[in-house]
């Protein structure tokens, strides 16, 4: 079950500035001395990553224990349970990541004891695995502290729940009525009012799973990504097969730059529904953010084909998705492929300076300085003082 309106495609500023994936030693020389040096450097980096992961896991556990202590004084049992369970899940994820980092560090250490190229490459791969696990552990430690933005600490401890009827069937009917009102408000894009109705529905009937799912999406669309994460996790405890919940969790994490955790959520959504377009876009987005451009390109291209109609007007999401594909081509050095994609994207958004700048860089990489200069100048007109654009103009002036 999906229960989702498509998540907005992220703005392309982040795509223009996403850093390349961190590189680790490997393949820089073929003498025994250089091979040994590179392997030892990889092992050192892996050990440092394992240490970071262990500290993040300990921090996540400490945050979880504080959440449990706070929950004992909360006036809203359902909120308390959601917060502590979400924090426990994050602490478990951090601990698993720390264990993975420790194993990778040990693999790197063993590889560094040898002096052949295969061992050096093995040490580099292990160092990358340790780095990734450490980043995932840190993201999980950050997630352990998540709370809804609209529920202050004061209201958590002194808040009250809506009046509840003594009759169970009447309470269920009242909950469904609140959900129906909330769904109508959600479809009218009044997400703040919808959120309150969904909260009322859950206070009356904590087992209203559709209400919890749409509460998570309301929080997401209001920009309360931390609150949405707590809600989606709570919903997944009851409905672990609903792909839309994993998708919402993935997008919420991605908006908080938790790309490693977002990736696992999108993968879970696609495992349950391989044709899930929104999760495929999210998967490609997370991979791009992690600098894994080769891996990001197929899901993004597939999503673009899936979203682009054979005839008639394009959905509003297509230009932004096309720009994502273009940026991926650009990061792969495929400027000839990136340029027409950027040109198509800018036809739908001619006032976006980032797209004009991207076109300028493509032209520059292709040796077309005159066209590049015109594109950079247009970008500068739209965004005066942009340092990256001015650098592009300097390079076209020679």
Q: Is residue 331 part of a domain?
A: no
Domain that holds residue 27: 22-145
At residue 122, φ and ψ (nearest 5 deg) are: -65, -40
Domain for residue 40, yes or no?
A: yes
In this prediction, residue 163 carries a pLDDT of 47
The yes-or-no verdict on residue 137 having pLDDT over 80 is yes
Residue 8 lies in a domain: no
Q: 73-95: per-residue pLDDT in tens?
A: 776 777 788 889 999 999 999 99
- For the stretch 239-265, pLDDT in tens is 999 999 999 999 999 999 999 999 999
Whether residue 369 is contained in a domain is answered as no
Looking at residue 33, its pLDDT comes to 72
236 within some domain? no
Question: Does some domain include residue 160?
Answer: no
Residue 103 lies in a domain: yes
Task: Provide the domain count of the chain.
Answer: 1
The answer to whether position 194 is within a domain reads no
């Amino acid at each position: 079950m999906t229960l989702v309106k498509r998540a907005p495609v992220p703005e392309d500023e982040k795509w223009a500035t996403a850093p390349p994936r961190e590189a680790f030693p490997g393949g820089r020389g073929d003498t025994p001395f250089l091979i040994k040096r590179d392997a030892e450097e990889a092992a050192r980096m892996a050990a440092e990553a394992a240490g970071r992961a262990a500290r993040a896991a300990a921090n996540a556990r400490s945050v979880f224990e504080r959440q449990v202590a706070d929950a004992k004084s909360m006036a809203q049992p359902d909120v308390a349970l959601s917060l502590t369970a979400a924090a426990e899940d994050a602490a478990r994820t951090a601990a698993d990541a720390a264990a993975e980092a420790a194993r990778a560090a040990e693999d790197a250490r063993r590889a560094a004891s040898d002096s052949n190229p295969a061992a050096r490459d093995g040490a580099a791969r292990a160092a990358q695995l340790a780095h990734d696990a450490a980043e995932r552990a840190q993201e999980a430690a950050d997630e352990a502290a998540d709370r809804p933005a609209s529920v202050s600490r004061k209201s958590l401890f002194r808040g009250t729940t809506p009046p509840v009827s003594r009759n169970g069937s009447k309470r269920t009917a009242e909950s469904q009525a609140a959900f129906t009102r909330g769904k109508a408000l959600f479809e009218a894009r009044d997400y703040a009012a919808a959120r309150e109705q969904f909260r009322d529905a859950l206070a009356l009937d904590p087992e209203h799973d559709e209400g919890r799912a749409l509460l998570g999406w309301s929080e997401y669309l209001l920009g309360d990504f931390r609150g949405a994460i707590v809600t989606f996790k709570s919903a997944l405890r009851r409905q672990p097969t609903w792909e839309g919940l994993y998708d919402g969790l993935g997008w919420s994490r991605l908006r908080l730059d938790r790309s490693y955790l977002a990736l696992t959520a999108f993968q879970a959504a696609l495992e349950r529904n391989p044709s899930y377009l929104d999760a495929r876009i999210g998967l490609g987005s997370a991979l791009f953010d992690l600098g894994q451009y080769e891996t990001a390109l197929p899901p993004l291209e597939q999503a673009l084909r899936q979203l682009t109609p054979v005839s008639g007007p394009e959905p509003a999401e297509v230009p932004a998705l096309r720009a994502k594909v273009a940026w991926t081509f650009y990061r792969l050095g495929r400027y000839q492929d990136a340029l027409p994609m950027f040109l198509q994207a800018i036809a739908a958004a001619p006032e976006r300076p980032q797209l004009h700048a991207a076109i300028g860089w493509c032209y520059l990489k292709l040796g077309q300085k005159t066209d590049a200069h015109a594109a950079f100048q247009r970008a500068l007109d739209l965004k005066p003082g942009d340092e990256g654009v001015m650098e592009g103009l300097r390079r076209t002036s020679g």
